[in-house]
Structure 1
Amino acid sequence: MKVLVTGSSGWLGRHLVPMLRDAGWSPVGLDVAPGEQTDVVASVADQNAIAALFCRHDFDAVMHGGALHKPDIARFPPQAFVDVNVSGTLNLLRAATARPGARFVFTSTTSLMISQAIRDERATKAVWLDEDAGPLEPRNIYGVTKLAAEGLCRLHHLEHGLAVVVLRTARFFPEDDDTITALSGPNLKANELLHRRATVQDVARACLAALDRAPQIGFGLYVVSAPTPFTRDDLGALKADAPAVIRRLFPEAEALYRRAGWRLPQSIGRVYNGGRITRQLGFVYRTSFGDILEALRCGDPAPIDHDPNYGSPILRASQAEAARR
């Protein structure tokens, strides 16, 4: 069966396309920048290009991961986010709806769940974030447009019967955080696996699980984040003294971190719960914080992808366009 994969030159796409191929799918990669897994260089915002692509291929599914992301806010105006994240998604949904029996998987973001109050950590305890969290008050144009795109996905299921699964993915980018600099990239990513990150490999595998189950689900929305060891009962303590909670759950953690020259988080203000996708789809994450500690214990490389020099396809495309001028 043939699947269109948008964002195929990106970090997720370069892992997802080979997995799809290994699973028996015939992927066609679409991105604004060339890449090893990209067959067509075009924007999802180009309605004519999308229509022509669907005319050439009889797609059974769309795996939509192409988007402008949060770091792009500094590089692109709000209209670009609307064009790519909203209009681009609408272009794909319309084309998929015209294919009887097609299925659609949309990679959204947990970022749209973060209001300014949550971002500022104004609460006296950590905030528990799952699929039922709300009201949703995205704090920037990235979150606003991704939430709008989710609404379009839901609408096309309700009005046209399109089988759609929305995946709100936690952090999985390989580059350094653009706001947090107190910890090294690998240290920060290891900490985040406790409460707000997944490996790109697990995110790609979640996309495959969603693609397989979409016809049975009809419409589904799932948070994708590595299994957190915390419960709601830990939320107050996590905000006040996160190391104490971590020591209780992982007695070796502090010593292993000290040996690596790392530091545990002192306070945790939010916890993503990505368990529903396991309960409803049978998806099993392969990497958690416990695997980080096991690697440190054995002296092995931590199962974290870190590349401080990684640049997104949209940035590469913009740089190439500027060089041509």
Structure 2
Amino acid sequence: MRLLLTGSTGWLGRHLAPMLAAEGHEVVGLDVAPGPFTHEIGTVANRTFVDQVMARHGIEAILHGGALHKPDIARFPRQAFVDVNVTGTLNLLEAAVEAGHDRFVFTSTTSLMISQAIRSEEADHAVWIDERHTPLAPRNIYGATKLAAENLCRDIHLNTGLACLVLRTSRFFPEDDDTLRDPPPDNLKANEFLNRRLSVEDAARAHVAALAKAPELGFGIYIASAPTPFSRKDCAALKLDAASVIARYFPDAPDLYARHGWKLPTSISRIYDSSALENDLGFRCETDFAAILDALRSGSDLPFAHDAAYSSPSVTGAKLIHPG
């Protein structure tokens, strides 16, 4: 198929584009900044530009990964988030319908599921989060606009029949966390594979699976995250003494961590359950916490990326996103 991949210069896009090509697809990359997999420079907020790209390349399906993200809150006004994340998604959905497409894959975020109460860790237990989790009360403009875009996908599917699959991805960014400094970045990322992270390669593979399954499923929203080793019965103990729970599942984890100068989490406040993705799409992340421990045992490279110097395409393409 001739595919339009938005966000092709970004962290997900640069991994997803070659995977799609390896599946035999012709991939047209679109982003606000140049990159090795980007063919069209422009913003999805411009409907005329979107229509021109669709016609120029004879696009047959869209994977929409381009967006403004949480770190962009410090760079852009709220209106830019509405323009890119909401209007841009609507532009692509309507263009897909007009072109007669049968599938659309949208990259969303687990961030929109995190209310301020969850963020503040007010519960006395780890909050178990799956696709049935409510209420959805995003705590910032990023989450609010992503939720609005999800609802547009649902509306377009219900009213036109366009198959739309939404992937709420957990963390896979390579740069340092913009709020946490302890433990160090690689230690923190490793810990997050217990409950709220996946590798960028697995994020890309999930999109490939969603593209294949979309016509069969019609519409669906799925959490994409590394499978957690925990169960719901662990939630109270995870909040009080996560390290002990981890040691029950992985007896040598404390020693492995100590040898590397790392720290296990003392408390875990939320857990993403990605079992629906496995059940409905037949997709399971290859990298989980067990894989992290395997790498520590063998001394091999860690199975996830860390790049403190990574710069989002939104920095390069700032003037295109928000000329003012």
Give TM-score, length-normalised by structure 1.
0.97
Q: Distance in 2 between matches of 1:226 and 1:294?
A: 15
2:213 corresponds to 1:231: no
Per-residue CA deviation, residues 148-173 of structure 1 (Å, 9 max, x unaligned), is: 00000000000000010000000000
| SS, match of residue 254 in structure 2 | helix
2:145 corresponds to 1:137: no
Q: Residues 105 and 187 from structure 1, CA distance in 2 versus in 1: closer, same or farther, beyond 3 angstroms?
A: same
Q: 2:294 corresponds to which letter in structure 1?
A: E
| SS, match of residue 128 in structure 1 | strand
- Residue matched to 1:180: 180
Please state how far the C-alpha of 1:321 moved relative to its aligned partner. Answer: 10
Structure 1, gaps ≥5 residues long: none
Structure 1 residues 254-263 or 53-62, which shifts more?
A: 53-62
Please state how far the C-alpha of 1:184 moved relative to its aligned partner. Answer: 1.0
Per-residue CA deviation, residues 213-244 of structure 1 (Å, 9 max, x unaligned), is: 10101101100000000100000000000000
Q: Distance in 1 between matches of 2:162 and 2:58?
A: 16
Structure 1 residues 98-107 or 148-157, which shifts more?
A: 98-107
Q: Residues 321 and 130 from structure 1, CA distance in 2 versus in 1: closer, same or farther, beyond 3 angstroms?
A: closer
Please state how far the C-alpha of 1:318 moved relative to its aligned partner. Answer: 2.7
| SS, match of residue 223 in structure 1 | strand
- Residue matched to 2:80: 80
Please state how far the C-alpha of 1:319 moved relative to its aligned partner. Answer: 8.1
- Residue matched to 1:190: 190
Q: Distance in 1 between matches of 2:163 and 2:144?
A: 23
Per-residue CA deviation, residues 186-231 of structure 1 (Å, 9 max, x unaligned), is: 1000000000000000000000000001010110110000000010
| SS, match of residue 72 in structure 2 | helix
Per-residue CA deviation, residues 106-148 of structure 1 (Å, 9 max, x unaligned), is: 0000000000000000000010011000010000000000000
| SS, match of residue 317 in structure 2 | helix
**1:30 touches 1:41 (CA, 8 Å); kept in 2?**
yes
Q: Distance in 2 between matches of 1:23 and 1:253?
A: 37
Please state how far the C-alpha of 1:281 moved relative to its aligned partner. Answer: 1.0
- Residue matched to 2:169: 169
Length, aligned pairs only: 324
- Equivalent residue runs for 1:264-275 within 5 Å: 264-275=264-275
2:241 corresponds to 1:241: yes
2:304 corresponds to 1:304: yes
Please state how far the C-alpha of 1:99 moved relative to its aligned partner. Answer: 2.1
Q: 1:17 corresponds to which letter in structure 2?
A: A
Q: 2:92 corresponds to which letter in structure 1?
A: L
- Residue matched to 2:293: 293
Q: 2:17 corresponds to which letter in structure 1?
A: V
Please state how far the C-alpha of 1:24 moved relative to its aligned partner. Answer: 0.8
| SS, match of residue 176 in structure 1 | coil
Please state how far the C-alpha of 1:47 moved relative to its aligned partner. Answer: 1.1
Q: Distance in 1 between matches of 2:279 and 2:306?
A: 30
| SS, match of residue 4 in structure 1 | strand
Q: Distance in 1 between matches of 2:158 and 2:319?
A: 40
| SS, match of residue 207 in structure 2 | helix
Q: Distance in 1 between matches of 2:286 and 2:183?
A: 25
- Residue matched to 1:116: 116
Structure 2, gaps ≥5 residues long: none
| SS, match of residue 172 in structure 1 | coil
Q: 1:312 corresponds to which letter in structure 2?
A: S
Q: Residues 289 and 39 from structure 1, CA distance in 2 versus in 1: closer, same or farther, beyond 3 angstroms?
A: same
- Residue matched to 2:18: 18
**1:62 touches 1:103 (CA, 8 Å); kept in 2?**
yes
| SS, match of residue 139 in structure 2 | coil
Q: 1:248 corresponds to which letter in structure 2?
A: R
| SS, match of residue 3 in structure 2 | strand
Please state how far the C-alpha of 1:102 moved relative to its aligned partner. Answer: 2.8
- Residue matched to 1:146: 146
- Equivalent residue runs for 1:48-59 within 5 Å: 48-59=48-59
| SS, match of residue 137 in structure 2 | coil
Please state how far the C-alpha of 1:60 moved relative to its aligned partner. Answer: 1.5
Percent of aligned pairs with the same amino acid: 59
**1:59 touches 1:102 (CA, 8 Å); kept in 2?**
no
- Equivalent residue runs for 1:184-223 within 5 Å: 184-223=184-223
Q: 2:179 corresponds to which letter in structure 1?
A: T
Please state how far the C-alpha of 1:320 moved relative to its aligned partner. Answer: 10
Q: What is the Cα-based RMSD across aligned positions, in Å?
A: 1.6
**1:4 touches 1:59 (CA, 8 Å); kept in 2?**
yes
Please state how far the C-alpha of 1:285 moved relative to its aligned partner. Answer: 1.3
Per-residue CA deviation, residues 286-313 of structure 1 (Å, 9 max, x unaligned), is: 1000000001001111111000000100
**1:61 touches 1:102 (CA, 8 Å); kept in 2?**
yes
| SS, match of residue 301 in structure 1 | coil
Q: Distance in 2 between matches of 1:209 and 1:182?
A: 35
Q: 1:265 corresponds to which letter in structure 2?
A: P
- Residue matched to 2:60: 60
Per-residue CA deviation, residues 232-280 of structure 1 (Å, 9 max, x unaligned), is: 0000000000000000000000000011111000100000001111111
